[in-house]
Amino acid sequence: MNNNPLSVRIAGLELRNPTLLASGILGYTAESLQRVIEGGAGAVVTKSVGVAPRMGYANPTVVQASGGLINAMGLPNPGIDEYAAEIIHAKTVVKAPLIMSVFGYSADEFALVAGKAVEAGADAVELNVSCPHVKLTGSEIGQNPKLIAEVVSKVKAAVRKPVIVKLTPNVTDIAETAKAAVKAGADALTAINTVKALAIDVETAFPILSNVRGGLSGSAIKPIALRCVYDLYEQVKTFIIGCGGITTWQDAVEFLLAGASAVQIGTAVALEDPNVFQAVNRGIKTYLKKKRYKSVQEVVGFAHRT
Ligand code: RRO
């Protein structure tokens, strides 16, 4: 019997603990992914990658906000063919599940990139249908249940690894888009991507980001993300991975109680360092012991009891 109380199983992925690196932070190289695993993460998610290389937006691409960061990076990535070589290398050094975040401008592109990612060794793919500020992809797909379903169906037909769908909070009802994803075959959901936001410089009297609008992440969005996970747990039967402002073990436990089977951490890694995973896991372990739980699984969704 597995006597590690922190271990979790999500859609067939075995994790030594319920913390994952969120997409977008330290996700480009085998070495940075390895550093995150040494910092205690149970799995890693890469930066989103598409069919062709993209430069991303001009600077400034990130601005600090109260309780977080607003970014509009603009999906900078080297394209799947170049990135596949990095994944092949990463698989030799990263001793934990490696999840590739993929995006496309059509369902066929998503399927093409996901297929190449799995061929290169990805243990699962996370579909980015939720980037809030790049035209014709991201949340322009993820806000539309029909388009989400088409993307998920095509990816499921193309790969035999778990397909995780990362949802946008920038919708009226997150359960609606989630249901479309699950009906089309999604094996798990990540909730949430960043919240659409803006910052203005009072001296220049212009928006700060070159793209004007960006996505807010960090502790400022934690209550929004937590509510999304709670809603999803009530309405959708699948694995949920919580993401949005998780910094401390208490944040992580809140997400587990709301119904997440695991959590992703991104902005806290950027603002602190990769050892945040160790600290969060240590805290979860102590909490389980104090409350006499034998596993993380016993906590998942416990806040919903009647
Ligand atoms: O690259 C970005 O600007 C970006 C992406 Br792909 C995303 O999914 N979420 C976000 O806040 N920024």
Say if ligand 1 is within 6 A of residue 194 CB. yes
Confidence of residue 27 (pLDDT cuts 50, 70, 90): confident
Give me the helix-helix angle, 276-290 and 249-258, nearest 10°.
60
| Domain assignment present for 274 | yes
CB of 99 closer than 8 Å to CB of 122: yes
**Averaged pLDDT, 218-245:** 98
Question: Is 278 inside a domain boundary?
Answer: yes
Cα–Cα dist 128/166, whole Å = 6
**DSSP run (H or E) holding 83:** helix 80-93
- Examine residue 289 and state whether it is found in any structural domain, yes or no: yes
- Residue 193 near ligand 1, beta carbon < 6 Å: yes
Q: What percent of the chain clears pLDDT 70, i.e. is strictly above it?
A: 99
- Residue 2 within a domain: no
Residue 1 — pLDDT band, cuts 50, 70, 90? very low
Q: What is the model's pLDDT at position 113?
A: 98
The atom number, within ligand 1, closest to the CA of 133 reads 3
**Active-site annotation holds for 131:** yes
Q: Which atom of ligand 1 lies nearest, measured to the CA of 130?
A: 8
295 occurs within a structural domain? yes
Mutation to probe ligand 1, out of 127, 133, 192, 217 (largest number of atoms < 8 A from CB): 133
Q: Quote the domain boundaries for residue 145.
A: 8-304
Domain CATH for 162:
3.20.20.70
Give the Å distance between the CA of 217 and the centre of ligand 1: 10
Kindly state whether residue 3 falls inside one of the protein's structural domains: no
* Dist. CA 290 → ligand 1 center (Å): 38
Please state, in angstroms and rounded to a whole number, the distance separating the CA atoms of residues 147 and 258: 28
Measured in Å, residue 288 CA sits from the centre of ligand 1 at: 34
Return the ligand 1 atom nearest residue 73 CA.
3
How large is the average pLDDT for residues 209-213?
98
129 lines ligand 1 (CB under 6 A): no
Closest by Cα among 127, 136, 135, 130 to 171: 130
Cβ 19 under 6 angstroms from ligand 1 = no
Mean pLDDT of the chain: 97
Condensed to tens digits (0 to 9), the pLDDT of residues 95-121 reads 999 999 999 999 999 999 999 999 999
pLDDT at residue 3 greater than cutoff 90 = no
pLDDT tens column, 271-293: 999 999 999 999 999 999 999 99
Tens-place pLDDT, residues 46-100: 999 999 999 999 999 999 999 999 999 999 999 999 999 999 999 999 999 999 9
Q: Does some domain include residue 264?
A: yes
Q: Is the CB–ligand 1 distance for residue 46 below 6 Å? A: no
Q: Does the residue 132 lie in any domain?
A: yes
| Per-residue pLDDT at 195 exceeds 90 | yes
Once rounded to an integer, what is the mean pLDDT over residues 245-255?
98
Q: In 99-201, which ranges are continuous DSSP H helix?
A: 107-120, 139-142, 145-158, 174-183
Q: Which residue is closest in CA terms to ligand 1's atom 1?
A: 75
DSSP one-letter string for 106-119: SHHHHHHHHHHHHH
Per cent of the chain over pLDDT 90 is: 98
Q: What is the mean pLDDT of residues 229-248?
A: 98
Please work out whether the CB of residue 73 comes within 6 Å of at least one atom of ligand 1: yes
Query: How far is residue 234's CA from residue 92's CA, in Å, rounded to a whole number?
Result: 39
Q: Which atom of ligand 1 is nearest to the CA of 56?
A: 1
Q: How many residues does the chain have?
A: 306
Predicted local confidence at residue 266, as pLDDT: 98
CA nearest ligand 1 atom 7, residue: 131
Domains in the chain: how many in total? Answer: 1
77 lines ligand 1 (CB under 6 A): no
